[in-house]
Each structure stands twice: as structure tokens, then as C-alpha cells.
Amino acid sequence: MALREMLLPMGLYDLSPDSFVSRELEAYGVGFALVEEVLRRVAEDSFVTSCSGEALSRWEFLLGLPTQPEVPLESRRETVLARLAIRPGDFTLPRLEQSVSGAGVKVKITENPPQGALSISFVDTLLEYENWEQLKKQIQALLPAHLPAEFDVGILTWEMFDGFSLSFTDWDSADFSWQWFDINGHKLGKEGQHA
């Protein structure tokens, strides 16, 4: 409710448009509008699902995730929410898979009892990583410390490369690195990823 409407029923003030009281109330209204806007933004940025890209970067920094403004907001939000959802007792295979999505990757985890290790196969990546070691470090931080992990990033064969019908010059001009193929090779040929 506007200040003028609150004072009008009292009948004590001159609230005509040119009165000093009306002008003062108008100035208060401008100040309150600024405060209301700041409060609205604070409330919006308090929740990962509605925060701005800038606030999402702060969430990523707090959680030790790489900040990547070029990655779609929804992928970044999904990663932050997965990281925030991790609880101390999350050591079943399905919960471990959900926990690891907090590193920005979707994986399938299987137990390998003879070696006492976890076998981790990559399904998809939500974030972009510069190198394999950076991604591996993020994942290992989310796994039980006493269990070693074996990583399977898939297989790239020459037949798969030949399937794209590109020359070596075409591949070179795309400026891919072997590290990129290790982490993102499964995206080749999918929407938005072309060789």
C-alpha cells in the first residue's frame, strides 16, 4: 500500500499533489522502491533455482566448483544443487552417482569387489573441464576416501573418427586436444558439438 493511501483516511495532512507532504511521501516512495528492489534480488539470489548468473558463480566458488559463465545456467544449477544435496550417509551406489553429479558429470558406478574399488563410467558431462586431472580431483572429493576408483571415459576408435568423414586438416582446424576427447568425446556428433 502506498504511503499516501495509508495517510488519506486520517484527514490530518494536506495530500494535494503540490503539497510538501505529498512531495515528501513521493521521495520516501522512491527510496523505499530501491530498498524493495534490493530485497527482491537478495531473496531471488538466495535460492539456486532462481538466482542470477552472478549469484550462481558465488555458489560455485563456495562449493569449490569451476565457474563457467559460458556453460548453460541450467547445467550449472543442476551441478550446484547436486553438490548441495550430498549428505553424510550417501554411500549407496545410487546416492554416490547422485553425489558425483555434484562435480558436473553423470556417471554409472559399479562395485568391483575383487580389487575393492569402484568402477566409474561416464554418461555425460554438464560442465567443461580443462583437463582430466581437474575433473578426476572433483570426483574423488565426493567419493569415500578409503575406496580407490577406476575411471572409464569410454573408448575412441579410429573407426569412430572415420565415421565423421573428415580429413586430418578438418580435425586439426577444430583445435581439439586429446584431453578434450577424454572428457568430452562422447559429445561428438550430438547437438551443438561438431567436429
Give the chain as a DSSP string: --HHHHHGGG--S--STTSHHHHHHHHHHHHHHHHHHHHHHHHHHTSTTT--HHHHHHHHHHTTPPP-TTS-HHHHHHHHHHHHT--TT--SHHHHHHHHGGGTEEEEEEEETTTTEEEEEEEEESS--SSHHHHHHHHHTTS-TTS-EEEE-----HHHHHTT---HHHHHHTT--HHHHHHHGGGTTSTT---
Is this structure's pTM higher than 0.75? no
pLDDT by residue for the chain (195 residues), tens only, comes to: 577 777 777 878 887 888 888 888 888 889 999 999 999 999 999 999 999 999 999 999 999 998 888 999 999 999 999 999 988 877 888 999 999 998 988 999 999 888 888 999 888 888 888 778 888 899 998 888 888 998 887 666 677 767 777 777 877 787 777 777 766 666 665 544 544
